[in-house]
Amino acid sequence: MLISAFDAVLSDLDGVVYAGPDAISGAPEALGRLAGVGVELAYITNNASRSPDVVARHIRQLGAPASAGNVFGSADAGADLLAERIPAKSKVLVVGSAYLRDCVVARGLALAESADESPAAVIQGFDPEVNWRDLAEAAHAVNGGAIWVATNTDMTIPRARGIAPGNGSLVQAVSTATGTTPVVAGKPEPRLFQIAAEQLEASRPLVIGDRLDTDILGGNRAGFATAVVLTGVDDAASVLGAPADQRPRYLLATLADLFSDYPVVRATGKQIVCGSARAAVVDGIISVTGERGDLDAWRAACCAWWYANPRTAERTTPEINFSS
């Protein structure tokens, strides 16, 4: 089975374990099986609105194993970045959750309530209560010379009702008003993945996520194996067109696939073969012998396209034809 090649799983949360308050079908059960095969587990989240204690409690309520010690979030990472860049007791304008404010205070920094206090820094993290006035204060402070840190820049976030704007969308509003970009603490930077692997003493971790531009890019930057699971933001078509640095090693339908053998993908002549599916790129068009609903067909198509375009820096939208 696939998971036997690894000693730890570094799993995203939104879109992998849950969407909003509810579990992704089968995810808690799959995560619960990891300990039985000797695989450690950590959660890597860009959501800066909740503390590790609250996140771990939510995960346990859904039926998956979790403790605060194995939740690694962007709020703490962002506060650490601030503490490295500004003197102790400096004032910081926090645009985000109460927990993010607690993280800032815990690093020996002071809270500013508005840009009028000339804060040394602004830290911005996701919170559903953030409003226009908060974004305006952040813009005023950044325009006044404050250092700007974003916990993460996810443009969207999976919620129970579907995909909603994420922290990156709000960061973009401030960026438009200031003409600047923030230092980013969370994914896709490799820091959270590296810290988690060190604490688990893992030498062969597998990063699992639903987003190419954060989870997979971050895991690749950390030098770890990556797997995208199709239960959240990205689908098989977007994986196919991913830039080279966002391409995962594995394409999974659900977390249950960790406990199955991953199909061998091999080259046969000018074709890529995966299971009963075959794919080839001819004149820039991907021809697949296989069903559109068969994940092996997409695995073959991805490998064929990626072999033909090994260093593509931009997202592509190749034409693809399926035939039985």
What angle (nearest 5°) sits at the alpha carbon of residue 252, between those of residues 247 and 255?
A: 125
Question: Is 47 a residue whose pLDDT tops 90?
Answer: no
pLDDT exceeds cutoff 80 at 71: yes
Is pLDDT of 226 > 80? yes
Burial of 77 (0-12, 13-18, 19+ CB in 10 A): buried
Say what percent of the chain tops pLDDT 70.
100
pLDDT digits (tens, 9 = 90+) for 204-216: 999 999 999 999 9
| 79-92 per-position pLDDT tens digit | 999 999 999 999 99
> Is the Cα dihedral 316, 317, 321, 324 positive or negative?
positive
Structure tokens at 119: 């804060």
pLDDT at 223 over 90: yes
User: Phi, psi at residue 158, to the nearest 5°?
Assistant: -70, 130
Percent of the chain surpassing pLDDT 90 = 93
Instruction: Please answer whether residues 125 and 148 qualify as being in contact, where contact means their C-beta atoms are separated by less than 8 angstroms.
Output: no
Q: Does the structure show a pLDDT above 90 at 288?
A: yes
306 pLDDT tier (thresholds 50, 70, 90): very high
**Where in the sequence numbering do the catalytic residues fall?**
12, 14
DSSP H or E run through 229: strand 225-229
Average pLDDT over residues 115-126: 97
- DSSP H or E stretch at residue 74: helix 74-85
Task: State the pLDDT at residue 183.
Answer: 96
Asked if residue 188 has a cis previous peptide bond (ω within 30° of 0), the answer is: yes
225 contacts: CB under 8 Å, gap ≥ 6: 5, 6, 204, 205, 206, 207, 219, 249, 250
> At residue 163, does pLDDT exceed 90?
no
> Is pLDDT above 80 for 158?
no
Regarding pTM above 0.85, the answer is yes
